[in-house]
Amino acid sequence: PQIPSFLLLLLLLVVPEARASGYKTCPKVKPDMLNVHLVAHTHNDVGWLKTVDQYFCDAATLKAPTWKTSPCVVNILDSVVQALLGEPTRRFVYVEMAFFSRWWRQQRETTREVVKELVKQGRLEFANGGWVMNDEATTHYGAIVDQMTLGLCFLEDTFGKDGLPHVAWHIDPFGHSREQASLFAQMGFDGIFLGRIDYQDKYTREVAQEMEQVWRGSTSLQPPTADLFTSVLPNNYDPPSGLCWDIRCHDPPVVEDLGSPNYNADSVVAHFLNVAADQAGHYRTNHIIMTMGSDFHYEQAQNWFENLDKLIRLVNAQQQTKGSRIHVLYSTPACYLWELNKANLSWSVKQDDFFPYADRPHNFWTGYFSSRPALKRYERISYNFLQVCNQLEALTGPVANAGPYGLGDSAPLREAMAVLQHHDAVSGTSRQHVADDYARQLAAGWGPCEVCGAGPGDVASSAVRNMSHPRLCPIINLSSKYPHLKSFPIMTVFHGLDPFLLPTLASVFLLPWHQVVDHLVLSSREHPPELLFTGSAPALGFSIYSVTQVHKQNPQTGSSWLNPQKSQSSVLVIENEHTRAVFDTHTGLLKELENRDKKLVLPIRQAFFWYNASKGSGAYIFAPEKLDALPVSLSSETHLVKTALVQEVHQKFSAWCSQVVRLYPGQRHLELEWTVGPIPPEIGFGKEVISRFDTTLETHGRFYTDSNGREILERRRDYRPTWNLNQTEPVAGNYYPVNSRIYITDGNIQLTVLTDRSQGGSSLSDGSLELMVHRRLWSVDGCGVGEQLLEPGKDLKGLQVRGRHLVLLDTTQAAAVGHRLLAEKEVLAPQVVFAHGGGAPWTHPGNRRRTQFSGLRRELPLAVRLLTARWGRRTLLLRLEHQFAVGEDSEGNMSSPCDLGLENLFSTFTITHLKETTLAANQPWDRASRLQWTPNTDPDLHTPASSLDSAAITLQPMEIRTFLASVRWNLRGVV
Ligand SMILES: *[C@@H]1O[C@H](CO)[C@@H](O)[C@H](O)[C@H]1NC(C)=O
Ligand SMILES: *[C@@H]1O[C@H](CO)[C@@H](O)[C@H](O)[C@H]1NC(C)=O
Ligand SMILES: *[C@@H]1O[C@H](CO)[C@@H](O)[C@H](O)[C@H]1NC(C)=O
Ligand SMILES: [Zn+2]
């Protein structure tokens, strides 16, 4: 239908104004000159060489003498506010909300009013605005969205629209993921600034004047939904050389007094004009940006600002005196971006990502993909647990953290998780005591969420208690001991959206002589015995099981299903109806994998190897001394365990490396549970241990890795899509981040390995695939952390790490869907918790207690996942996502748009009002507007968002939609 012309007119009148909103306070520029935008900024790591508290310098949490040891973020914020008030043209940009929000809480009302005014006038601008500047290689997209939401909603609550950041500012992360660009675009950012890109990439871009372009963050979402304007800064995030005027720098201040022996105004101005002209040669418009600041700068902000005041005055004076065409001004990243947008150029489009990152030959920042594997795993299970806690809170609403048990809540874990996303936290690149502190923060966050763990006041338990029975989760008397228990219920809480078979190994909680009824089987291993449990829980709900001791009998001598079968025969095989894995009887190594449903047989060898580290290796840098990895052992000691519920091949490769290859009934994947460490010192600079799969697949140098657990990117050995690579490190230079999966395919058969945490991975020869599981280094790279990556562990011998790889073999056509669904289940695995029993078994007919609960009245379509459900700010925050990409499901219709209704979907509440927001929940969807850029590809028409009807929500492939819902509770009907 034709749009009435008066409406068009209205659109023309309204739209440009709307687009300019937020940029109104930008400084005046000179259109006929080269404008140099000076951006005064500080980079505040949320933990690195020091802990978060140490960097903040918080009297409340630190004791003398660490308190107030420079650098201190409180000094920075105090002194910047003073300096901004001293001169109205000065501007400053601040980034990390973990620090700012803490500082804000400690300010008096008068200071807050002043700061609000500075923000309103654009003199203090927020960029990025997440809780932290997150790492991009080792983070999961759900956790990125959570941490950005926390920071951006703080800004929204505190400053309203004035505090809204317009640009993303990822100046320090060591490489950049495409998913990050997509997420930022969906959060409403107008552009992103990057500091670190590969040195060859940067050189190529400088020559081609391609430092700025449009980055297309998704191959599924309709452009420009995931398009993000991207600007690569000229100098990482530092000032040009010779122009650094912080107390942490050594450049002489600007001296104008001609009589002074230190007079240098002339030479400073000349140097600046040179630098500016040089830089302008690499950029396309008559605007350039210079970052005037660095790590923890501006503790004494006057130093910086007074010199910048002089520089600006002296340089601009040359316009009159010398006819200079260079105009320099205080500006901000957003105001610089706004000028680029007004230039109305057509920009090239980037479709790949910025991994891996090398800042010079041989110096690849690909070690941190795997550094500190235990912390990486702790972060991942904490993500899982936070979602359980969120969902239980959401299902019970205000009840969850009120009432007699209601002291705790999910906020501490949410903040701890946000901190963990920082680019020196989950990345594994902080010092040891800082890494310990990150783990401490997570542990402290778990407490208030814990189900029957921490005692009274835990959210999950009071929520569950309310939905089932007050006695479900009695406060555990810590003096009681498990051996005296006659029975205890096991509760599973699963927050995924489809029923799930749950094999759980929970040795800690059981003693060997407990025999069990119902769904439980004791698997007999040497030490310690383990409880194997197969149960299921409904969507977004839980099931309760009880364990009862029926005979006091040692299972070692008991029934036949407990007898391990030592391998005596010539074949070593574990198999079920779908999968068969054959092991070499001489070496004990896996030698063949079969998918019986598809009649696919693949010769495959899996073993552990290690790279000998070199002098240049460190927490960041992977720099193997030689290209060949050495085997941990050519063969393994092996034994076979077969019970009714599991078949296992136990492999021991060395004193510090072993593995259990496991197959459950009905399962299509093989589970490889590896245990590596403590890595012994011996000689050299350290060891970087990998698990490698060698197959006969013809893969033509290609392999595939996920981007932050979401879309898949193709990788090619010794190749970069946008420049001619001069490969200086054939191993480290081919490593890519793996957050959830890596695969190889010959076009017909696909071999996928799913990980349980972020790891580095590669395919260094055709048919081969490897993942780095652990690393321990006696060398130190030159990237600043200044400490060996030794991870001493409790006994100082080094950390032992355990993890799982799930291996799947399928046709390439079928693999995409099945492997993605399994990957999602890995990230959001069921949580199993234990509670006291006593009395009658829970399955007893006389026992009326609820043993099952679901938060959903009906199942969601398989393609749709509930990414977020949490209670906060008096509303319910819901995120629904389509979890498949365009074309991913070539056999079925999983990749089609998907409709669902939210009406009467949830069992404990009814949605009464629904409002859609941008991805970080800080802007209403219909009022958010982004700057339009002209990519030099065929213009794609943006499908306008349809109006909101909670009865029919449509999700396009890979789309995430975010809602704030008002609800009416109907708990009564459920309890
Ligand atoms: C931007 O450029 C296009 C052509 O490249 C032109 O049609 C359009 O009018 C320009 N817009 C503005 C605001 O200058
Ligand atoms: C559950 O919450 C409801 C609503 O607040 C409350 O009335 C009820 O007493 C709670 N039930 C239990 C068992 O705590
Ligand atoms: C590749 O890089 C190395 C190391 O910087 C250099 O010595 C060599 O000349 C480069 N080769 C080419 C073809 O540019
Ligand atoms: Zn940093």
Q: Which residues contact 20 (CB under 8 A, 6 or more apart)?
A: 338
Ligand 4: distance of its center to the CA of 890 in Å?
Answer: 42
What confidence score (pLDDT) does residue 405 get? 40
| Closest residue by Cα to residue 830 from 499, 464, 489 | 499
- Ligand 2, atom 9, lies closest to the CA of 466
Closest residue by Cα to residue 532 from 560, 577, 562, 489: 562
Two tokens at 670?
Answer: 């093989």
Instruction: State how far the Cα of 902 lies from the Cα of 954, in Å rounded to an integer.
Output: 11
Among 204, 359, 727, 728, name the best residue to mutate to test ligand 3's pocket (greatest count of ligand atoms within 8 A of Cβ).
728
> From CA 58, how far away is CA 50, in angstroms rounded?
13
pTM: predicted TM-score of the whole model, two decimal places: 0.90
The protein residue whose alpha carbon is closest to atom 5 in ligand 3 is 361
Of residues 849 and 933, the one with the higher pLDDT is 933
What's the order of all strands across the beta sheet hosting 349-350?
167-170, 191-194, 227-232, 212-216, 349-350
Distance 296 CA to ligand 4 centre (A): 10
User: What residue spans in the chain does CATH classification 2.60.40.1180 cover?
Assistant: 391-561+830-854
Q: What is the pLDDT of residues 329-369, one digit of tens each?
A: 999 999 999 999 999 999 999 999 999 999 999 999 999 99
Q: How far is the CA of 390 from the centre of ligand 4 (A)?
A: 29
Q: Is 46 in the pocket of ligand 2 (CB under 6 A)?
A: no
Taking each helix axis as running N to C, give the angle between helix 411-420 and helix 141-159, from 0 to 180 degrees, rounded to the nearest 10.
Answer: 110
Instruction: Identify the residue whose C-alpha is closest to ligand 2 atom 1.
Output: 466
Atom number of ligand 3 nearest to Cα 360: 5
pLDDT digits (tens, 9 = 90+) for 88-104: 999 999 999 999 999 99
> Rounded to the nearest 5°, which phi and psi values hold at 150?
-60, -45
Helix/strand/coil for 967: strand
How high is the pLDDT of residue 510? 30
Residue ranges lining ligand 3, Cβ < 6 Å: 361, 726, 728
> Would you list the DSSP string of 220-281?
SSPTTTTEEEEEE-EEEESPPTT---STT--PPPP---TTSTT--HHHHHHHHHHHHHHHHT
Enumerate the CATH 2.60.40.1360 domain ranges in the chain, comma separated. 864-932+944-969
Question: pLDDT of 646-676, one tens digit each?
Answer: 889 999 999 999 999 999 888 899 999 999 9
Q: Is the CB of 386 under 6 A from ligand 2?
A: no
Using an 8 Å Cβ cutoff, are 544 and 830 in contact? no
5-350: which CATH topology? 7-stranded beta/alpha barrel (3.20.110)
Residue range 697-715: average pLDDT?
Answer: 97
Q: How many CA atoms lie within 13 A of 869 on its CB side?
A: 26
> Bridge partners of 702?
716
Residue partners of 411: CB distance under 8 A and separation at least 6: none
In angstroms, the CA 232 to CA 215 distance is 12
DSSP state of 585: T
Residue in this structure with the two tokens 């990482």, named with its chain if needed: 236
pLDDT by residue (tens digit) across 919-961? 999 999 888 889 999 887 655 544 545 567 777 899 999 999 9
CA 192 / ligand 4 centre spacing (Å):
16
CB distance 836 to 488 below 8 Å: yes
pLDDT of 820 reads 86
* Mean pLDDT, rounded, for 160-175: 97
The pLDDT tens digits of the residues spanning 291-325 come to 999 999 999 999 999 999 999 999 999 999 999 99
Q: Whose CA is nearest to atom 11 of ligand 2?
A: 466
| Per-residue confidence band for 533, with pLDDT thresholds at 50, 70 and 90 | low
For residue 342, how far is its CA from the centre of ligand 1 (angstroms)?
Answer: 9
At 274, is the pLDDT very low, low, confident or very high (cuts 50, 70, 90)?
Answer: very high
| Ligand 3 closest atom vs CA 726 | 1
Q: Report the atom number in ligand 3 closest to the C-alpha of 362.
A: 4
Nearest residue to 329 via CA among 117, 120, 91: 91
What spatial distance separates the first Cα and last Cα of the chain, rounded to whole Å?
51
Q: What does the pLDDT read at residue 448?
A: 74
Residue 849's Cβ-count burial label (10 Å; 0-12, 13-18, 19+) is middle
User: Rounded mean pLDDT of 263-268?
Assistant: 97
- Residues whose CB falls within 8 Å of the CB of residue 519, separated by 6 or more in sequence, listed in order: 533, 534, 535, 545
With a 6 Å cutoff on the Cβ, whether 971 touches ligand 2 is yes
pLDDT at 847: 45
Report which bound ligand comes closest to the CA of 396.
2
Residue closest via CA to ligand 3's atom 4 equals: 361
Scan for tokens 């989950």, then name that residue.
426
- Which residue's alpha carbon is at the smallest distance from atom 5 of ligand 2? 399
Structure tokens that stand for 378 in this block: 């702790």
Question: Quick one: tokens of 616?
Answer: 């240049």
Q: Work out the pLDDT band at 408, boundaries 50, 70, 90.
A: very low
Ligand 2 touching residue 470 (CB < 6 A): yes
Ligand 2 probe mutation, 459, 968, 975, most atoms within 8 A of CB: 975
Contacts of 197 (CB under 8 A, 6+ apart): 175, 176, 205, 232, 354, 357
CA gap 738, 742 in Å, rounded: 6
Average pLDDT value for residue range 570-575: 87
Task: Give percent of the chain above pLDDT 70.
Answer: 80
Tell me the C-alpha to C-alpha distance, in Å, between residue 810 and each of 174, 751, 765, 817, 818: 34, 7, 21, 11, 9
- β-sheet with 530-535: strand ranges across: 502-505, 530-535, 520-523
Q: Which residues are catalytic?
A: 172
Q: In the numeric block, which tokens belong to residue 515?
A: 């025999």
Handedness of CA 53, 59, 62, 64 (dihedral sign): positive
Using the mean position of ligand 2's atoms as its centre, give its distance from the Cα of residue 467 in Å: 8
Report the alpha-carbon distance of residue 112 to residue 646 in Å, rounded: 61
C-beta 908 within 6 A of ligand 2: no
Burial 522-546 (b: 16+ CB within 10 A, else e): bbbbeeebbbbbbbebbbbbbbbbb
For residue 499, whether the previous peptide bond is cis, meaning omega lies within 30 degrees of 0, is: no
CATH 3.20.110.10 residue ranges of the chain are 5-350
Count CB-CB contacts under 10 A for residue 402: 13
- Residue recorded with tokens 């074309």: 887
Interacting residues of 45 by C-beta distance below 8 A, sequence separation 6+: 55, 172, 295, 296, 422, 423, 424
CATH class of the region 864-932+944-969: mainly beta
Q: Is the pLDDT of residue 395 over 50?
A: yes
Strand partners, 806: 671, 754
Kindly provide the residue ranges of all beta strands, DSSP E only, lying in 251-360, ordered along the sequence.
287-292, 326-330, 346-347, 349-350
Contacts of 419 (CB under 8 A, 6+ apart): 46, 47, 52, 98, 131, 132, 425, 438, 441
CA distance 169 to 333: 8
Strands (E), 63-127: 92-94, 124-126
pLDDT value for 161: 93
| Residue 614 CA to ligand 4 centre (angstroms) | 25
Neighbours of ion ligand 4 (CB under 5 A): 45, 172
CA of 728 to the centre of ligand 3 (A): 8
Task: Give the pLDDT score at 62.
Answer: 72
Give, for 957, the enclosing helix (H) or strand (E). Answer: none
Q: Which residue has the higher pLDDT, 714 or 644?
A: 714
- Percent of the chain past pLDDT 90, that is, above it, reads 67
CA of 71 to the centre of ligand 4 (A): 14
- Check residue 64 and give its pLDDT: 72
pLDDT of residue 623 exceeding 90: yes
Task: Determine phi and psi for 368, rounding to 5 degrees.
Answer: -65, -15
Which residue minimizes the CA distance to atom 14 of ligand 3? 726
* Stated length of the chain: 975
The answer to whether the CB of 510 falls within 8 A of the CB of 533 is: no
Identity of the residue numbered 403:
G
Predicted pLDDT of residue 563: 35
Q: Spell out a b/e string for 143-172, using b for 16 or more CB atoms within 10 Å of the CB, else e.
A: bbbbbbbbbbbbbbebbeebbbbbbbbbbb
Domain 391-561+830-854 has CATH 2.60.40.1180: yes
Phi/psi for 119 (5° steps) reads: -65, -45
Q: What pLDDT shows up at residue 536?
A: 65
When mean pLDDT is compared across 136-145, 396-405, 468-477, 689-698, the lowest value belongs to: 468-477
Q: Which atom of ligand 2 is nearest to the CA of 399?
A: 5
CB 637 within 8 A of CB 652: yes
pLDDT at 61: 74
Q: Are 769 and 753 in contact (CB under 8 A)?
A: yes
Contacts for 210 with CB less than 8 Å, ≥ 6 apart = 204, 348
Q: Name the closest ligand to CA 908.
A: 2
The confidence score (pLDDT) of residue 450 equals: 62
Count CA atoms closer than 13 A to 275's CA, side-chain side.
20
Report the residue among 970, 971, 972 best suited for mutation to probe ligand 2: largest number of ligand atoms under 8 A from its CB: 971
Residue 783: is its pLDDT beyond 60? yes
Q: Give the strand order in the sheet containing 741-745.
A: 637-642, 647-654, 657-663, 670-676, 801-811, 749-755, 741-745, 702-706, 712-716
Residue 63 scores a pLDDT above 80: no
Q: Which ligand minimizes its atom distance to the CA of 402?
A: 2
In the predicted model, is pLDDT for residue 488 greater than 60? Answer: no
Cis check: omega of the bond before 665, within 30 degrees of 0: no
Q: What are phi and psi of 298, to 5 degrees?
A: 75, 25
Is 218 within 8 Å of 352 (Cβ atoms)? no
Mean pLDDT in the chain? 84
Instruction: Quickly state the pLDDT bin for 832 (edges 50, 70, 90).
Output: low
Whether the pLDDT of residue 2 is over 70: the answer is: no
| DSSP three-state, residue 342 | helix
Q: Which ligand is nearest to the CA of 729?
A: 3
**Which pLDDT score is estimated for 520?**
38
Please tell me the least confidently modeled range out of 456-465, 716-725, 826-835.
Answer: 456-465
Q: Inform me whether the pLDDT recorded for 484 exceeds 50.
A: no
Q: Is the CB of 969 under 6 A from ligand 2?
A: no
Counting DSSP H helices and E strands in the chain, the numbers are 17, 44
Q: Which helix (H) or strand (E) holds 43?
A: none
